[in-house]
Copies of this chain bind each other. A is one copy, B any other.
Amino acid sequence: MENEHEYDVVVLGAGPVGENVVDRVRAAGLTAAIVEAELLGGECSYWACMPSKALLRPVLARSDARKVPGLREAVYGPLDALDVFAHRDETVGHWKDDGQVDWLDSIGVRVYRGHGSLAGPRRVTVDGPEGEHHVLTARHAVAVCTGSRAVLPPLPGLSGARPWTSREATSADRVPGRLVVVGGGVVGVEMATAWHALGSHVTLLVRGDGLLPRMEPFVGERVAEALRARGADVLTGVSVEAVVRDGGSGPVTVVLEGGDTVEGDEVLFATGRAPRTESVGLETVGLEPGSWLDVDDSLRVTGTDWLYAVGDVNHRALLTHQGKYQARIAGAAIAARAAGGASDAAPWGPLAASADHGAVPQVVFCDPEAAAVGLSLAEAERAGHRVRAVDVEMSSVAGAGLYAQGYRGRARLVVDLDREVLLGATFVGPAVGELLHAATVAVTAEVPVARLWHAVPSYPTLSEVWLRLLEAYRDGADPA
């Protein structure tokens, strides 16, 4: 039996991004339905940000406490892994989505459980878990918010070796004796950090020169140095050629190019993401299944006037917070167009995701923490800006020595010399994650350096690194 329903807006995917789209269009008075085959709340809530941070916060808190006089002796013991897992399980709501269901109900959004797929312009079909079939028509817009998934490389033996992806790495409730992590991006580094602290011997295998390659090079250097100092093995410039699970349930052997091998009890592949667009009916509207979707700054798919792609699927920035930002803007744009009003898509206006282009922030919860916003020095130079980078060791800040004895960290500003505004900022060191937002405001608002001198950081916080950075810029300025 087929049921036909009409809504103003239909959203595919009920992660944080899809939820924010329906929230905004509902607030504008439109009707909305949302389709989800898995848990409402999405990857981030159950298998990414939330559980990974629940695993990492105890690790970072212990690491910092070990550098605090009066306390350090007390925290030399191992982490209580069972306590950490129990908290992680609670943080993800024991992988149940009742709270999300209640919230969507409360704002009047119809939830369809099942697999949603485009069936031509403005039409979506839903195949439910018990054979039910729905056809949804969208008066104004369909938004694809299906996110991304971990990609496993096509290596001999890999599928039989039952590798971990980010999902298993964030939901496991047993500490492997030896964990091999393949990939030096955010997931690889964060999970290497967590499982090392929970008791695994970790070997991190990285194809490139360093860790966290999308940030300034000194970040990866500091993080690798710290992982090694704590006893993890970090191998860079290595390529995995095959993976073998002994007897199907024994240890895993990872074979590297050149023939060296690394053995582990589990192996995590954190080697990239692909858009979850392979089976959402893109072919019915002339788009390529499995592709990232090109969008304009209102998140509308190029060449359509009704299809939006929001969050990971558009490949602008694979970050929950940036997807939610896009969702607020897409929701507002859909509502403005539905109302027939002038759609103000001017840069930095309410209907343009301008921050995606040069003001995307990211915090990596490794030890030491890493945080960056905007352009790295290399990115700024490649983009043709006339820039200068200023670097400061965090140890020059009084607040750093107070925060943790032997505090080690570094900060960088990338300054546009023509406009004297910040294009980017990067921090690595204990507890720098909360330092980032000041830089995000400065970059986003294009605050002139001359005005930043009047933004006084409180003494003696870590934020006083801002003063050191401005001084470094002033004192190293061209003699002009």
A contacts, CB < 8 Å to B: 44, 49-50, 53-54, 57-58, 61-62, 64-65, 68-75, 77, 79-81, 83-84, 86-87, 91, 319-322, 324-325, 328, 348-350, 354-355, 359-363, 371, 398-399, 401-403, 405, 431, 433-438, 440-442, 444-445, 447, 450-464, 466-467
Complex Cα distance, B124 from A464, in Å, reads 34
Given known pairs A61-B64, A62-B71, A459-B321, the reply for A437 and B435 (CB within 8 Å) is: yes
> A436–B461 contact, CB under 8 A?
yes
> B402–A57 contact, CB under 8 A?
yes
> B438–A441 contact, CB under 8 A?
yes
Given contacts A65-B65, A328-B453, A363-B458, 4 further A-B contacts (CB under 8 A): A54-B69, A325-B456, A355-B455, A444-B455
> A433–B458 contact, CB under 8 A?
yes
Q: Which residue on chain B has the smallest CB distance to residue A56?
A: B402
> A53–B402 contact, CB under 8 A?
yes
Q: Which of B83, B87, B437 contacts A455 (CB 8 A)?
A: B437
What is the oligomeric copy number?
2
Nearest Cβ in chain B — how far from A479, in angstroms?
13
> A361–B458 contact, CB under 8 A?
yes
Given known pairs A437-B466, A440-B456, A459-B44, the reply for A447 and B445 (CB within 8 Å) is: yes
Given known pairs A434-B435, A438-B438, A451-B445, the reply for A49 and B80 (CB within 8 Å) is: no
> B460–A437 contact, CB under 8 A?
no
Q: Which of B440, B444, B459 contacts A324 (CB 8 A)?
A: B459
Question: Inside 8 A of A399's CB, which chain B residues have their CB?
Answer: 53
Complex Cα distance, B58 from A405, in Å, reads 11
Question: Inside 8 A of A74's CB, which chain B residues have their CB?
Answer: 74-75, 77
Complex Cα distance, B433 from A322, in Å, reads 25
Nearest Cβ in chain B — how far from A125, in angstroms?
32
Given known pairs A77-B74, A402-B54, A461-B437, the reply for A361 and B456 (CB within 8 Å) is: yes
> A87–B65 contact, CB under 8 A?
no
Complex Cα distance, B365 from A462, in Å, reads 13
Quick one: which of A61, A91, A321 has the most chain B CB within 10 A? A61
